[in-house]
Every structure is written in structure tokens, then in C-alpha cells.
Amino acid sequence: MAEMTLQRGDQVPRFEVRTLQGDPFSYSTIWQRENLVLVTLPKDVELGRASELASRTRDFAERETVLVITRDRIAGLPTPGAVVADRWGEIVHVAAAPDVNGLPAASDLIEWIDYVRIRCPECEGEAK
């Protein structure tokens, strides 16, 4: 049976990982407080675009967003991949990449966070 892949509109699963720096991170510490950009990397590959992302941590923080980059596997999420979710855990963007250099640029992920910050969920509900 194939593993289910999370998509836009799904909820981020509760997870605990180690960041690239080796620090533990539990999603429950930011749920309902901050937005999330989660980048998953395969084990034993060059960082590539992930290095650019890591250098922009402050840009994400200024947008009430936590950037988590990990090599740990999270069920339902692509590796390598990137997920953008609002503070309530709703996934607004998922990007799978063939390799690390195919991950979205930091500027693209920041645009998704800017969208999350100004969107109107009630208006989106009316459009359904």
C-alpha cells in the first residue's frame, strides 16, 4: 500500500525532529502560535538550496514563521520537499523536489508566508 502524501488543505501531522543543527524540535511548541515552513532533506546529501534557506531564518521569523530544516523522515511529506502551513496547521503549499537543488527558493517560500498572513479564510470558504 502506498503512503498517503499530504496536500494543500490537510493538517500538518504532529511531529518531533532534529534540525540540521541537531536541536530537537516539536511542532506542538509552535502550533496555534506561529506559521511553519518545514523543509525535509534526504540523509547524506549536500545541502544545496537548504543553505540559502537557512541563511534567511530571520526573514521567516519577522513574519511570525518558524523555519525547520531536517533530515528526519515525516510520514506523508516528500523528501526532499517543503511545506508551508499556517499557525493552525493547515497546509497551504507542498513542494516535492527531485533533488535538494530543486527545492523552492527562500523568496518563493516567503511569498507563500506573506500570502498566509493576508489571506481571508472566510472569503475562501465562500468561494467553495
Please indicate, yes or no, whether the overall pTM of this predicted structure exceeds 0.85. Answer: yes
Phi, psi of 66 (to 5 degrees): -100, 130
Quote the DSSP letter at residue 34.
S
Between vectors from CA 62 to CA 36 and to CA 114, what angle results, nearest 5°?
A: 60
* Tens digit of each residue's pLDDT (9 = 90 or more) over 43-62: 887 777 778 888 999 999 99
* Tens digit of each residue's pLDDT (9 = 90 or more) over 58-83: 999 999 999 999 999 999 999 999 99
Shortest CA distance to 86 belongs to which of 31, 121, 35, 37? 35
Mode of pairing for the β-strands spanning 35-40 and 16-18: unpaired
What's the number of CA atoms in the CB half-sphere (13 Å) around residue 115? 12
- Domain-by-domain residue ranges, the chain? 16-118
Domain 16-118 CATH class label: alpha beta
Residue whose C-alpha cell is 511553519: 36
* Tens digit of each residue's pLDDT (9 = 90 or more) over 113-123: 999 999 876 66
